[in-house]
Structure 1
Amino acid sequence: MILRWNRRPEGSTWGDFGADDVLGRLNLLTPEKVREGVAEVREGLAIPLSLPLDRPGGPVLNPSRRPPVVRPTLRRGRVNLNCAMSELEPGLTDVMCDDLVVLHTQYSTQWDSLAHVGSMFDVEGDGTPRPVYYNGFRAGEDIVGPATPEHAGADSLPGPSTSSAGPLGIDTIAQTAVQGRGVLLDLRAHLGDARQPVAHAQLTEIMAADDVVVEPGDILVLHTGFAQHVLDMGEEIDAEALDRVGAGLDGRDPELLEWVTDSGVAAIVADNYAVEVFPARAVDGPASFLPLHEHCLFRLGVPLGELWYVTELAAALRERRRSRFLLTAPPLRLPGAVASPLTPVATL
């Protein structure tokens, strides 16, 4: 077995699923795990878990991420919206519509692939940190980008792509179908709406109170109420008010990170922005900007889902005194992309 590294991060899963592994903990979504999810279907009630993809509205969460732009295409120089085909070819009865979308893949309900966050790490063991991603895939070799800003951002459209997330891209995740058993933890029911970090002690207390058990290969889904506030605000988003709502995991809590490792969870999803409290609290010395992202995406190969809408699901599960369900959540099979929007579905 030829590895891409001589030294792997402490506590990582690098190499555990093979030298060329690109799926991380999604390897745990086995047929048996899918059957466990299917076994949770009792009523056939399907609940969509996506925000409208033009929410939250404007660049309120991240100035570099914008709402989708939807436009009609052109057909022989004519606007392809309510286009009477008879005007192009006499005798045709069709009226056609066709469109295109300029889409920021991490604007709304999304999956982050393992190419989203890497780290400066001494993979060669020679004392020199290098920019690498999960399982030692290299920045600039496996995950490549444009040489100049002119080939990045929406202002450069149209034109061919000059970047690729390579083997760790979202299309790799899409090929697994991302289906299995979801387990919901209702943080909002216990903590309310205030923005606050959730450390390991609180997490385990809430799990015990609601009799929630997470087993290896499960997908953990966190309900904080953040996405509900986004919807309730409608077209007028109050960025300052939104910044005060929605609990998040405390990425600086080593016991919480250890729990994520030991739990064997295949992926973590939240209805908030970033899953973890953002920004993370300051610490002395070099540290990750997004410590939970670094731990999950870089060390463990655990994909993260952000800005899902799970309030309806949380209410349905609480009414039934349940926490488990079948989750079907494939991203777009978009080669080269780092992330993807999606419309996940929970089935009870």
Structure 2
Amino acid sequence: MNLLTPAKVREGLEEVREGRAFALGLPLTFPGGSSLNPNRLPPVHRPNLRHGLPNANCVLGSLSPGSSDVMNDDLVVLHTQYSTQWDALVHVGSLFDADGDGESEPVYYNGYRAGVDVVGPSNPADCGIPGPDGTTTVDLGPVGIGTLAAHPVQGRAVMIDLAHHFGTAHRVVSYEDIDAVLHADGVDVRPGDIVTVHTGFAQRIVSMAGDPDPAVLHAYGAVLDGRDPALLEWITDSGIAAIAADNYAVELYPAHPAGSPTSILPLHEHCLFKLGVHLGELWYLTELAAALRAAQRTSFLLTAPPLNLPGASGSPLNPIATI
């Protein structure tokens, strides 16, 4: 994201011709339930307490005689990567011999160390949804999402519309496929661009109205082939700033078997661990993709800051595209 220089912001602004804006974030309550990912639960939304009373439709006259106010104040227990999200660089690291001593240790982008720079609990009791007296137990450090949030995420973005070219049947997409789409649509991918990938997955989630069908969704739409060396080389050589897709994981998960030890998320490993290229998941891209195609365009201004939550492994967001 350091490639999002003032020059890249100006490039993005040059793509604004109509002044039409598109919200690319799903409701934070979507996909719905936990059947797609049992490790990520939907938000818990509750009123807080005001002097021991429920702070929902709270008539303040009972607390402040003479007041005519009625108040609501609330809280959310939120899994940061449940819905539309940015992955922080700390989201996926690797066992890597960073010391050159023949022993692999858990490290993250740029050599940040587990247990030193990235600190978390080992006791399961210190994990999961806390009780009323629960405290913060993790600080994922400088490779957490707070580092990204400290700098505005805005610049030129391009659309790769896989759903238009390949439909929504399950397909593992190679660099050859990507290259064909780039040429067919005249997509001009420049260094520092944010690449968005439309598969139709998020639109299918929306159509399920918070009750997702895993049997349908796990076999729905295109996914990138993280085992394709040509695709990984293109990501490196293109100099892009980030990739955001409308599906889970961006890539095929788990990836095709490739011996051991090896990453089951090789595109994540390549982008987050090796390159420092952030990944976005579950973005809502269908309306934007249709508008761009109708206008015979593929590029736009993207504004996509994460929440400024220091030390977190990811963040929800409501990105805005302007064309």
TM-score by length of 2: 0.98
Counterparts of 1:12-91 in structure 2, within 5 Å, are 26-91=1-66
Could you say what secondary structure the match of 2:232 adopts? Answer: helix
Q: Distance in 2 between matches of 1:118 and 1:285?
A: 16
**Residue 91 of structure 2 aligns to a residue in which SS?**
coil
Q: Deviations over 1:275-294 (max 9, x none)?
A: 00112111123210100000
5 Å-filtered alignment, 1:129-278, equals 129-156=104-131, 158-278=133-253
- Residue 73 of structure 1: CA displacement? 0.6
- Aligned residue number for residue 314 of structure 1: 289
Give runs of ≥4 in structure 1 deviating > 2 Å. 155-158
**Distance in 1 (alpha carbons) for counterparts of 2:10 and 2:295:** 21
Q: Aligned residue for 1:323?
A: 298
Task: Calculate the aligned-residue CA RMSD, in Å.
Answer: 0.9
Quick one: distance in 2 between partners of 1:58 and 1:250? 27
The answer on whether the counterparts of 1:196 and 1:277 sit within 8 Å (CA) in structure 2 is: no
Shift of 1:147: 2.9
1:294 paired with 2:269, answer yes
Aligned residues: 323
Letter in 2 for 1:330: P
What is the CA–CA distance in structure 1 between the aligned matches of 2:146 and 2:302, rounded to whole Å? Answer: 19
Aligned counterparts of 1:336 and 1:302: Cα–Cα separation in 2: 18
In the superposition, relative to structure 1, how do residues 156 and 93 fare at CA in structure 2: closer, same or farther (>3 Å)?
closer
CA shift in 2, pair 1:157/1:258, >3 Å: farther
Extract unaligned runs of 5+ from structure 1: 1-25
TM-score w.r.t. length of structure 1: 0.91
Structure 2: which 5+ runs fail to align?
Answer: none
- Percentage identity across paired residues of the two chains: 60
Deviation per CA, 1:21-75, whole angstroms, max 9, x where unpaired? xxxxx11000000000011011111100011111111112210101001100100
Q: Which secondary structure does the structure 2 equivalent of 1:164 belong to? A: coil
